Amino acid sequence: MRLLLDEHIPREAAEALRRKFPSLHAVSIYDTPWRGLPDPPLLEILDHEGWTLVSRDVNTIPEFVKARLASGLTHGGVIYADSKRLRQSDVRGLIRRLTAFVEKHGNEDWTCREGWL
């Protein structure tokens, strides 16, 4: 599993995941050249490169994912961090949920899949 944590997720979450799972590819978008890209081209790159997006953006990302699928395109997968269940300021809670998610699904292929923390 390769996880790209988007701009809504603190960089420290990727660092914590890498400490817990040394072989996991978990990267903050802040550490890539993709920071600031609009969602459609970002989803294209992530699909091509085999990355699953972790995002709090439950308003626009699902629509872009739906549009890709409707056009016959794939995507690298998306894991949503629901702000209703997980406050933006609860970084520790986010890390706990991400850790549990990786423990449960880390060996699975997330191409064209969507899930919730």
**pLDDT for residue 23:** 94
**pLDDT for residue 108:** 95
pLDDT tens profile 1-34? 999 999 999 999 999 999 999 999 999 999 999 9
Buried b (16+ CB within 10 A) or exposed e, 42-60: bbbbbbeeebbbbbbbeee
Tokens of residue 32, six digits? 């890539």
Using left for φ > 0, alpha for ψ between -120 and 50, and beta otherwise, residue 18 falls in alpha
pLDDT tens profile 59-104? 999 999 999 999 999 999 999 997 777 777 788 999 999 999 999 9
Q: How far apart are CA 45 and CA 109, in angstroms?
A: 17
Rg (CA), the chain: 13
- Mapped onto helix, strand or coil, the DSSP state of residue 114 is strand
- Whole-model pTM: value is 0.93
% of the chain exceeding 70 in pLDDT: 99
Domains of the chain: 2-116 (3.40.50)
Does an H or E element contain 39, and which? helix 39-49
